[in-house]
Structure formats: structure tokens, C-alpha cells
Structure 1
């Protein structure tokens, strides 16, 4: 703060971190409204509040976005202890309310009484679409089983379009590069996860998470579903719902004869981890991945069988093979460990070799000193170090998947 004027110091007190100021909540019972322990915060707010994720002009800022657990009927209000406009002339506070209104659909309320009347209507809310899968999760803390449903919906389901508008607001807070989709395009499929719960003797449903998938046309008569967005809401994370959802969606597409394979748009590290687990789980009993075949290396049979039976493309089949071969390899045996390491590194070195081929082409048109600079950039020792680092990172990821499969 050195060098700041007294005025600048004063104004600095009116800056709030928006990830802390935004309070999100999924509400089932009236008493939840005042229960601080149920609030959760965004991971991101840069799309609305800039890269600094700061709102200027308030002390003790609270941006409350409370949703009824099922239908996601919304209460939105902005609270603060003091505002800069009241204290200083010619300094304006950020218009926080307008920024939030840009992303939340109309129909929200701003007071507790109206929100309570939303909650009373929750008994009428039912999951959209057709049920694809039902499963239970045993909660150790609560000492009971909870039941969940995964459904497939489309925009023709009555009320779904409005519900989806409320649901997708969560993307802004939890997916770094999130954007809203064009729901009028009928190539979108929507998969939803709901929890069943009891309230006053009635069965109600709470929204847990969802996935959107876009169906791309592949010449001449196939479709390639591509996962666009996937989110399990924070109160439900770490309970296995992501794996249940992805496996259910994958099985849904496997059953359709016109599907070529399933892929994902710009997947995050967490999504790749989840996909590894689900695909290995689906593939582990295929004949082509038997222990004796794994040690012979990646084969055309693996590509064909995974594609035909499980709609998995060659690139993903290769990862499945590498994970299953790791599981089947005794790494304490130096010979087996070496064979495995060389097999993986042979694939990883591909991009380096491509660079060298491109470099050979460049030699013809580069001056000698430029060429030396280029050669230094891909110095062999550096290559080996990078390759070893990539290998170790990959093995750490694969081990994690193998452990999770063993636990399951």
C-alpha cells in the first residue's frame, strides 16, 4: 500500500473478492434459507467480474443466489454493509445487480416470503424426460441409502427449456470457459441426475447435475455424440455421480446402431480422469484386453472390438490398453517394466519425431545460424527429459485409475 494517498487507501477497502461474495445454495426446507453451512461459493467469476474477480464499491458484499433444490426457482439479492457512493462524491460502485441479471433468467424473486412460496410448490416438481438408470449411494455419515435417477430430456419436455435456463447459470461459476448453448438446435441431448428425498411424507426430487451432448453428423450415415458440458453441483461432488452419469450416457449411445463413437469437446483434466475410469470399467472384460493379449502390444483387434462393441475411438482405446497393461504388469520385474516403459514412450515420442521431420524440411530454407538455434531448441537431452517427465505424469494418472477400479 506504500505510496498510496489516503483516499486510495480508503477506496481499497471497498474491493470485494467476488468468488467469496457470491453465496450459492440449494434449498429443500425453509430452515435451510438461514443455514450458513449450506452455502457454497463459485470457483470462477471472471466472466462477469473480470480477470481480477473483484467487485468495487462495497464493504461486506453478499450476492445471494439461492435455488430451490429441484426446479431451481431462484432468489437473488445483493446485501452489503456500506457502499462507496454514500461516502465519497464522484466515485461509483460497480453495478453488481445488472451483471448478475445478465446471466440469470427472469422469474426470480428477491425476498424470503416469495422464495418460501417457491419451496411449497416443489412437491409438484418431477424429473424431466425418460429414466435411463436408477442407483443408490450409501452415505456413511448419515448411515442411510440415497436413491438417484438419471434421465434423458429434450427441449420438447414441458417446462424443460425454462428449467435448463436456470440450471445452466451454474456453468458460469464452475467451468472456466463456459458458454450458454443454442437450445433451439435439436441435435442437443440433455442428461440429468436427480436425488429422491422425502419431505413431510412426500417424495421430492433434487437436481444433482447434468450433461449436454451434441450429435455431429458423420458421412455417410453415422452420428458422433460429443460431450459439451458436464457438471455435478458442488454439494454432490465426490460421491461418484460423475462416473454414474458418464457411464449411463455412454451405454445409452452404445445401444444405437448409427453411432460411430463418442467424444468430448476440449475436456478438462478431471473429465479425462473420469473418462479413463469409465472406459476401463466398460472395457476390462473384453476378450481383446485379456492378460496374454495385453503383453503382445496394442493391436488392430483392440481398435475394432472397442469401436464395434462400445463405440470407443482408437485414441481412447489406446489409453484403455495402456492402463489395463499397467494393471497386468509386474513392475518389480525389470524386464517387464522395461517392455512397458518402451511401449508407452514409443507412442509419446511421436510428436518429437514429427518435429524433427519438419525441421529437416526447414533446413533447406534456413541460414546456418538460424538452423543452429532451431537445433538447440530440441536438444536431445531436453527431449529425453521431457519424455521421461511425460511418462511419469502419465503413469501417475494411470495408477490412480487402476486404484479406483480396484476399489469399485
Structure 2
């Protein structure tokens, strides 16, 4: 049903279309309107209390130049269509800010909003405006408070938080900030499962991030005992001015991200871990934490009972990170030497990658193609051509198999039916060559991107 009011046109419920109108300034980009913050202490909320913000009260958005005391920068979602529809917009407000605040360790959640103007039914002619807080709360399967004072009153407990499960690894990174002297930051990875008291409720809070950052994400059934969870934290010094050249004596944990892994059965008495969800929050990205976490997961499952480690529908960014790590690991293996790479793909490569690092055969083949391209002299026409043909043969293999399958059924079907099958399934040679060339170009671009990171 479409409702028209003056020059306003809005599709019922989801507001899928909004024509140029007097109300166009009341349509907000939901990805820009949502603001996440990991809150370490009450000082992080100083500006919010100065705004006298509550979830249902108008606020003045004349932003001051006062510098925030927040220790962790606020951040925005990468997507919000699961909450606000494919257009990812919110109707009814000017200068809308939706505040999704999480206490940094326990992940208690505050949800509120501020705006300068909100439309009413009198102004819109009884057309409903969006209720963004309700839309978010309806998809969160955990407690959310709309009272900032209540949220703040519990922040004193953050310092005493102890992560669930067992410690898997501790590591540090050197981090330059704003041109200042390099400082060390300290991190700790924990492994947990649903048998640990309190972790199920904690996981419910963790997974609320998924639909904002992982395409087509959905909540998992944590009751299944085959799920493993790896949760990464930063150790924040309670006194940030102290020397950070050594592990801080007094610190509090801050949630960085997590990974879910399902342990599939592998005959006869083995497991095949499969990475399902992998998330590092924006304030902690691009400093190597995802690679560190993935490497720790590899190490944890590198035992005799593990067949190999799989990944469920990896995103482009995850696949790139995985490629870099796997190539770094495999480039020192004997079967991945430049001499053997130039001889083509072999079962020995797959076997060694699986035995040493539990890398699956399919991923090992990808590693081979990347490392071979790295070793190829692309100025040598014959060497480069040999590589391209090898990749195109692999890409064309499914089509060749399809043709062979058709040839096998030829004696078993009437001539007219076989002709119809061939006409339907055979792709003209020029079309196939063009398609293979395009596929190859995309793959090579991806591989060169990885090789650049390998150095």
C-alpha cells in the first residue's frame, strides 16, 4: 500500500521509497546514525550526561569542540539492513544519533537516541515515523537498558571482570598512535564453551554485534556442545600514563572480538573444525589482531585428532587475511619451494600443508597458486603463460567434466533429446574464452594483493 501526502510518497512500514518532499530532510542513513562505544568507566560518558540524554528526550546537537575523554574511539556499523531494511534509512528525525553503548568487558548494553527535531503524526498526516530503538531491541535476544544512569552505575564492576574459559594465548603488539612514540599493547585470548556457568548469557551479548558487521549473519544455537568460542580481549592499563614496556600490573579487560568454531565429526574418530563467525571490532582492526587470533586457533587444533580446518563462507576480508597467514606458513615447506611450485600442483603439497598446519586441500591449492605467482617472472612470456594456462585449466575443469558427463549419456538417450542437452549446456568457444579471461584477471588481482602483503 502506498500513501501519498502532498509530494511525500512512502511505502508502508519499510519506507522503501521517499520522493523529494518537505520531509526528505527527516530521512537518516542508519549506518551513519548508529554510534557504538565501548565504555571503560563513567568518565567515558561525561559528554553524554552533559547532553542530558535519555532514550526518549530531545537533545540539542550543537556539538562543542570539547575533546572526548573516551579511551576507545566510537565506531559505526558496516551494515544495518537487518534492522532498518534494504535501504538502510530511518524516517522521522533530524540530526538523529542512536547510541549503542557496551561496557567494555561485561558487555552490558545501553540503547538510547538523541535528535534535534522529531516529526509527529500531526505533521505527517498520521504516517508513522520509525521507532529505531524498538527495531533494535526486537532483534537483540538479551537485556538492554534505556537508562544511562543505570548503565553507568554498573561500570564500577568492569575492573573486576574475569573472562570465561581458559587462557589460550597472551601476546603484545607495538602500536604507533598520532605520531607518538611506539607503545606496547597487550592482548589475551580465551577459549570457552556452553558448559561454563554464565557464558551462555555472555555469548548472547557478544553476538549482538554480528548483524552489524557480518553479511547475512544469524544467531547460532549455543546449546549444541560442539561449538567452541575464542574471545579476544585487550588488557587496558588502569593507569594509562604508566610505562607500557612491560605487562601492566593493574588492568581491566576490554572485548576486542571473537570467533565461533563448530567441531564436525570426521571418520573414524577425528574432528574437522569449521570457522563459522569471525569478528574483530572496528577500533581494533588493521593492527594484526585477526591474524594473531587465527594463528592461535590453528595452533590449538593442530593435534592428531584434527583432520583439517575449514571456513564456512568466508568474507573477502577474512579470505585475504587467511591467504596471507597460510602463504606465510607454507612458503617455508619443502613441497612449496619455487622449484616444485613451477612443476605444478601436487598431492604432496596438499598432504604437507594438512599435516603441518591442518590447512584443507582446497585452501592448500589456493596457497600453491598464490606462491607460484609470487615466484613467476611475469616478464618471461613463456613462464607467465604457463602459469595462466594452469589456472585457466583449473577454472575450466568443471565445464569439461560437464561435457564428459553429457558424452556418457549419449548412447542412452534419443538423438533429439541429446541434441537439446548439448544445445542447452554447451557454451560457445569464444564466450568461454572471454569468461575464463575475466575470471583469471579477477583471481590474479586478488593474488597480487596478497603477494604485496607477503613482501
2:301 to 243, 253, 263: 253
CA distance in 2, matches of 1:109, 1:312: 44
In the alignment, the residues of structure 1 paired with residue 335 and residue 425 of structure 2 have an alpha-carbon distance, to the nearest angstrom, of 43
Greater mean deviation of Cα atoms: 212-221 or 58-67: 58-67
Query: In the alignment, which residue of structure 2 is the partner of 1:204?
Result: 252
Identify unmatched segments of 5+ residues in structure 2: 10-20, 48-67, 241-249
CA contact (8 A) 1:345 1:391 kept: yes
| Structure-1 residue corresponding to 2:55 | none
Point out where structure 1 has 5 or more consecutive residues left out of the alignment.
none
8 Å contact 2:41–2:156 — kept in the other structure? no
Aligned length: 401
For 2:415 and 2:130, locate their aligned partners in 1 and report how far apart those are by CA, in whole Å: 58
Offset of 1:145 from its aligned partner? 1.0
The offset of 1:369, in angstroms, is 8.3
**In 1, are the aligned partners of 2:142 and 2:205 still within 8 Å (CA)?**
no
Q: Pick one of 351, 356, 359 that aligns with 1:304.
A: 351
2:111 is paired with a residue whose SS is strand
TM-fit CA distance, 1:11: 4.2
Residue 400 in structure 1 maps to residue 449 in structure 2 = yes
Change (3 A) 1:323 1:69: same
CA drift at 1:57: 2.9
Question: Which of 12, 35, 38 is 1:26 aligned to?
Answer: 38
Q: Which moved more, 1:359-368 or 1:188-197?
A: 359-368
Moved more, 203-212 or 99-108: 99-108
Residue 283 of structure 2 corresponds to: 235
CA contact 2:111–2:133 (8 Å) conserved in 1: no
Confirm or deny that 1:63 pairs with 2:102.
no
Distance 1:162 1:54 in 2: 31
1:368 deviates by 6.4
Q: Which moved more, 1:361-370 or 1:195-204?
A: 361-370
Specify which of 176, 197, 202 is matched with residue 163 of structure 1. 202
State the Cα RMSD in Å: 2.5
Please, what TM-score do these two structures have when normalized by structure 1?
Answer: 0.90
Match of 2:133 in 1: 97
C-alpha displacement of 1:109: 2.7
Tell me the equivalent position of 1:263: 310
Cα offset for 1:137?
1.6
Residue 193 of structure 1, CA deviation: 1.1
Matching of residue 188 in structure 1 with residue 227 in structure 2: yes
1:18–1:55 CA contact under 8 A, matched in 2:
yes
Measure, in 1, the Cα distance between the counterparts of 2:356 and 2:419: 54
C-alpha deviation, 1:89, in angstroms: 4.8
Post-superposition offset of 1:184: 0.9
Asked whether the equivalents of residues 60 and 82 of structure 1 are also in contact (C-alpha less than 8 Å), the reply is no
Work out whether 1:153 is the aligned partner of 2:189. no
Matched, 1:16 2:28: yes
Q: Is this contact kept in 2: 1:46–1:53, CA < 8 A?
A: yes
**SS of corresponding position for 1:38:** coil
Partners of 1:207 and 1:139 in 2: how far apart? 18
Cα deviation 1:113-146 (Å, max 9, x = unaligned): 2222222111011222222222222112252111
Aligned equivalents of 2:323, 2:142: Cα separation in 1? 39
Instruction: Please report how far the alpha carbon of residue 4 of structure 1 lies from its aligned counterpart in structure 2 after TM superposition.
Output: 7.4
Check 1:106–1:169 CA distance in 2 against 1; reply closer, same or farther (3 A cut): closer
**What is the 5 A alignment of 1:310-321?**
310-321=357-368
Larger relative helix fraction: 1
State the alpha-carbon separation in 2 of the partners of residues 174 and 121 from structure 1: 28
Partner Cα distance (1:306, 1:124) in 2: 42
- Give, in whole Å, the separation in 2 of the partners of 1:198 and 1:245: 21
1:388 to 427, 433, 437: 437
Distance 1:355 1:231 in 2: 38
Q: Distance in 1 between matches of 2:415 and 2:314?
A: 38
The structural deviation recorded for 1:102 is 1.9
Are 1:14 and 1:84, in contact at CA under 8 Å, matched by a contact in 2? Answer: no
SS at match of 1:220: coil
Instruction: Tell me what 1:49 maps to.
Output: 84
Distance in 2 (CA, whole Å) between partners of 1:181 and 1:369 is 45
Structure 1 residues 106 and 374: CA distance shift in structure 2, 3 A = closer
Alpha-carbon distance in structure 1 between the residues aligned to 2:418 and 2:350: 44
**How far 1:384 moved relative to its partner?**
1.3
Q: Which has the larger displacement, 194-203 or 17-26?
A: 194-203
Change (3 A) 1:96 1:286: same
Q: Is the 8 A contact 2:260 2:276 kept in 1?
A: yes
Q: Structure 2-normalised TM-score?
A: 0.81
Change (3 A) 1:204 1:84: same
Aligned CA distance change for structure 1 residues 154 and 373 (closer, same or farther; 3 Å)? closer
Once the two structures are superposed, residues 161-182 of structure 1 have per-residue CA deviations (whole angstroms, 9 ceiling, x without a partner) of 2221111111010112000011
